[in-house]
Each structure stands twice: as structure tokens, then as C-alpha cells.
Amino acid sequence: MKATALRRLWPALVLMVPTLGMAADPPPIQLPAPQHRGGMPLMEALSARHSSREFAPRPLPRRVLSDLLWTAFGINRPDSGGRTAPSAHNWQEITVYLAMAEGLYRYDARNNRLVPVLGRDIRALTGTQDFVATAPLDLIYVADLNAMKGAGEQDRLLYSAADTGFIAQNVYLYCASAGLNVVVRGSIDRSALAKAMGLGRGQRVVLSQTVGYPKR
């Protein structure tokens, strides 16, 4: 293309660039405000808590996602940024990812929104069991080991696993209360999943957890 033709096209190209960017980068999904009241009494939720491995494919509504994620690792003390689950040294090193049919998202607790990470369905890579590919939601707990300042290698692994356990139990109790099926899972090809998610050095997949409505 001649330089003069390019100069004529330039204003149109400049206008197109942001549009192209938007197509590749969908905006975050704003979740409705989570409900901090109601649900099953704690002792009843503990009585009902159990693992299930059968899920209807029906997607979870956004209000359910919002309550589920807030219960998992949401902010319950806005002044200090404290979370619904404890973490060693308050490192808050666990990020909750959501693998759904429409793509991979990251839970942004402070803004109560889902930040798009990948525009493709990677549910099948979140575990070695068949149901993970068709259940509506596979949560993936990823530890940022670099955020655990001052800890040795062994403590980083120990504490990030323990911190994930608290989050996963919160999810179990929410699911018991909301009539959802759930199972936490460690049987994962972690390197294949980390590669698909584009994780960096120091980011480690700890566990995954599948959530969905019971099969009728």
C-alpha cells in the first residue's frame, strides 16, 4: 500500500483499534450484591454437608454465583479487607477461578465481579473425572506462592493447601444450604491445567471443586 493511501486510511484505523480490543477482551461480569442473611442454620448445613458427583448441566444464575463466591472467599469486613475464610498471615494468596461453558473467569472479591481470563471452555481440564466437563461450574483454587512473603518453600505449600481447605469448606456449607451438589477434587493434571490457564511461575493449582444442581 502506498504511503499516501495509508495516510488517508489512518483515521479509520485509529478508530478501529479500540473496537478490535473490545472484541478480544470482554468486559468483567458485575455480580448482584451477595445476600449476607438467611440460608440454613449452621448445624443443619453441617448435618447436610456431603460430596456428590452427579450434576445437572443447567448453569448457575448470577445471584447464586455471587452468594457462592462471597461465602467462599468474599470480603466480610470492608474496612480491613478481611475475608470469609482465614489465611495464614492474612496473605490472602488464593485466587478463585471459575471454569464455565462460556470461559474462564477470576473472582474479583473487592469489586464483586468476574474478570474474564479465557474465552474458551476448559472445564474438562479441571480434573480427571468425566463429570467435570459437563457440570456448570468448576472452581479452581490457585495459590500465588510469591505473595507468601518470608515463608520457606514447605510452609508455602502447607499454608496454601490449608487456606484452600477453609474456602472449600465454606463452599460445601453454602451448597448444603442452597441445595446444590458439590465435590472438592485433588485429582487434577496440574501442569496441563496451569498451562491452559496461562499461569505464571509461583502460581500453583491447589484444588478444584465442582458445583451444580442435582440431576433430576
Residue 183 in contact with residue 169, Cβ under 8 Å? no
Least spacing, CB of residue 71 vs ligand FMN, in Å: 17
Q: Judge residue 14's burial from the number of C-beta atoms within 10 Å of its C-beta, 0-12 exposed, 13-18 middle, 19 or more buried.
A: exposed
Least spacing, CB of residue 36 vs ligand FMN, in Å: 26
| Using rule CB under 6 A, residue 113 touches ligand FMN | no
Residue 107 in contact with residue 73, Cβ under 8 Å? yes
Least spacing, CB of residue 100 vs ligand FMN, in Å: 19
Residue 103 in contact with residue 117, Cβ under 8 Å? yes
Q: Judge residue 126's burial from the number of C-beta atoms within 10 Å of its C-beta, 0-12 exposed, 13-18 middle, 19 or more buried.
A: buried
Distance CA 186, CA 158 (A): 15
Residue 208, helix vs strand vs coil: strand
Least spacing, CB of residue 152 vs ligand FMN, in Å: 22
Distance CA 152, CA 143 (A): 15
Comparison of 141 and 213: residue with beta carbon closer to ligand FMN: 141
Comparison of 35 and 187: residue with beta carbon closer to ligand FMN: 187
Instruction: Show the binding pattern over residues 23-62: x = contacts ligand FMN (CB under 6 A), - = does not.
Output: ---------------------------xx-x---------
Distance CA 63, CA 101 (A): 18
- Going from the C-alpha of 125 to that of each of 59, 157, 161, the distances in angstroms are 18, 22, 20
Instruction: Show the binding pattern over residues 181-210: x = contacts ligand FMN (CB under 6 A), - = does not.
Output: --xxxxx-------------------x---
Q: Candidates 33-41, 63-71, 112-120, 179-187 — which segment interacts with ligand FMN by CB under 6 A? A: 179-187
> Cell digits for 49?
454437608
Comparison of 146 and 187: residue with beta carbon closer to ligand FMN: 187
Comparison of 25 and 130: residue with beta carbon closer to ligand FMN: 130
> Cell digits for 31?
455480580
Least spacing, CB of residue 154 vs ligand FMN, in Å: 18
> Cell digits for 61?
444464575
Q: Candidates 8-16, 76-84, 178-186, 191-199 — which segment interacts with ligand FMN by CB under 6 A? A: 178-186
- For ligand FMN (CB under 6 A), the number of binding residues is 10
Binding residues for ligand FMN, rule: CB under 6 A, are 50-51, 53, 129, 183-187, 207
